[in-house]
Amino acid sequence: MGLFTDVLSAGGVQRASRLVAAVTAQFASDRGMAVRFFSLNDPRGLHTVRVGSVEFSASGYARNKTQFALAALRAAGHKPALVIALHPHLSPVVRIMRARNRKFRSIVFTHGVEVWKPLGWPRGPALRHADLVVGPSADTVQRLISEQQIRPDKVKQLPWGLDPEFEARLSARASHSLPPGFPSAGRIILTVGRWDSSEQYKGADTLITALPRVLEGEPDASLVLVGDGNDRPRLERLVRDLDITEHAHFLHGLAPEHLSACYANCDVFALPSRGEGFGLVFLEAMAYGRPVVGGAHGGIPDIVEDGATGLLVRHGDVESLTQALESILGDPERAREMGARGRDRVAKEFSFKRFQSGLANVFRDVLAQQL
């Protein structure tokens, strides 16, 4: 069984959820096992999702927590071998299911910032009650141990991988067309994120503030901000206040092919965030051979090798961010070398096949301990 916050919408947690669901469905199918997925926030009804060659279905509960928990409790009566939850906030539901069936094994997946501070009741005790807690980065794993007080032997690090559909687009990138509004010339700095007031830690405002300084040395440079959210009007006002409207371009609602084209046609990808538990967008940019600039925080250093595949800067440090962007834009040969190393690293360490193999091993280990 799988419990998800949502699998249909955009976002890093949702993309990670779809990856796990696809691997879980394939793992179960290979062993002749049934699988059921429940999604708290997706629209009511049964939804079919395809990830690569794998198709699975998930029942949505339209944010009705009571109905979601009751459905999970009823399903526990069918004696599942394994229950996975794709967010620590769902761990209390897993613990409630124990009231009906104490024999299944449980895995709770975490992502990052949501476990950086101690979770209170009932989430904290429920998370500690899981048989295994998975984190995508060394930083998240350490915080699970130090902040959530989970025993080290009950914590596993498993990095996310690329989406197989993204990998397919990567192979066919010659056919990608750029979205309307993408600059037709000049040096391009790309950033991708959700511009929400609760996620200002991503540092889009720092990028905008750094742009006038970058323009002093690279007058044809442009910043492309892909994403949407309730913080976008504030960012747009900042662009107007700095009088750089001709050099800052906001794009949103892009088709996957258009986003891939943005990666393929930028000169550097930058997201100086302090709150990423991992950072799938860095993998995507690196897969296209682009040098990256990231925040020296959270899970980003697990992906970006400072000085090798990109540069790391402190969150909010406009001067350091400016210098990092200038050093990459001003040295095309160094940028190409960083991009090539990043592309090779993603292919070796962060492919969907590698993630699938790693998660299958986790499942086998946990099921081997079944009561």
Confidence of residue 370 (pLDDT cuts 50, 70, 90): low
Residue 348 phi, psi (nearest 5): -85, -35
How large is the average pLDDT for residues 330-357?
A: 98
**Cβ distance 199 to 54 under 8 Å?**
no
Handedness of CA 126, 128, 129, 130 (dihedral sign): positive
Count the alpha carbons within 13 Å of 214 in the hemisphere toward its beta carbon. 31
Has residue 341 got a pLDDT over 80? yes
Token pair for 20: 């796990």
Q: Kindly state the tokens that stand for 234.
A: 């504030």
Residue 270 has pLDDT above 70, yes or no: yes
Please state, in angstroms and rounded to a whole number, the distance separating the CA atoms of residues 164 and 171.
11
- Report how far residue 371's alpha carbon sits from residue 367's, in angstroms, rounded to the nearest whole number: 9
Question: Residue 34: CA atoms inside 13 Å, Cβ hemisphere, count?
Answer: 5
pLDDT of residue 284: 97
In this prediction, residue 174 carries a pLDDT of 65
Q: Give the pLDDT confidence of 107-166 residue by residue, as tens digits.
A: 999 999 999 999 999 999 999 999 999 999 999 999 999 999 999 999 999 999 999 999
Domain spanning 2-161+352-368: CATH 1.10.3470.10: no
Q: Between the CA atoms of 116, 96, 369 and 161, what dihedral angle is there, to the nearest 10 degrees? A: -40
The neighbour count for residue 128, using CB atoms within 10 Å, is 18
pLDDT in tens, 251-265: 999 999 999 999 999
For the stretch 69-114, pLDDT in tens is 999 999 999 999 999 999 999 999 999 999 899 999 999 999 999 9
State yes or no: cis peptide before 136, omega within 30 of 0: no
Check residue 11 and give its pLDDT: 86
Could you tell me whether strands 54-60 and 45-51 are parallel, antiparallel, or unpaired per DSSP bridges?
A: antiparallel
pLDDT at 211 over 80: yes
Helix (H) or strand (E) holding 294: strand 292-295
CATH 3.40.50.2000 region(s) of the chain? 2-161+352-368, 165-349
Is the pLDDT reported for residue 371 higher than 70? no
Q: What is the pLDDT of residues 165-186, one digit of tens each?
A: 999 999 886 667 899 999 999 9
Residue 148 sits at φ, ψ, to 5 deg, of -95, -5
pTM: 0.95
Q: Across the chain, what does the average pLDDT equal? A: 96
**Average pLDDT of the segment spanning 4-9:** 96
pLDDT reading at 16 higher than 60: yes
The percent of the chain in helix, strand and coil, each rounded to the nearest 5, is 45, 15, 35
**Beta carbons of 206 and 297 less than 8 angstroms apart:** no
pLDDT at 315: 95
The C-alpha atoms of residue 321 and residue 330 are separated, in whole angstroms, by: 14
Q: How confident is the model at residue 14 (pLDDT cuts 50, 70, 90)?
A: very high
Question: Rg of the Cα trace of the chain?
Answer: 21
Percent of the chain with pLDDT over 90: 96
What value does the mean pLDDT take over residues 11-25? 95
Residue 207 has pLDDT above 80, yes or no: yes
Quick one: pLDDT at residue 369? Answer: 87
What CATH number belongs to 165-349?
Answer: 3.40.50.2000
d(Cα 67, Cα 91) in Å, to the nearest integer?
16
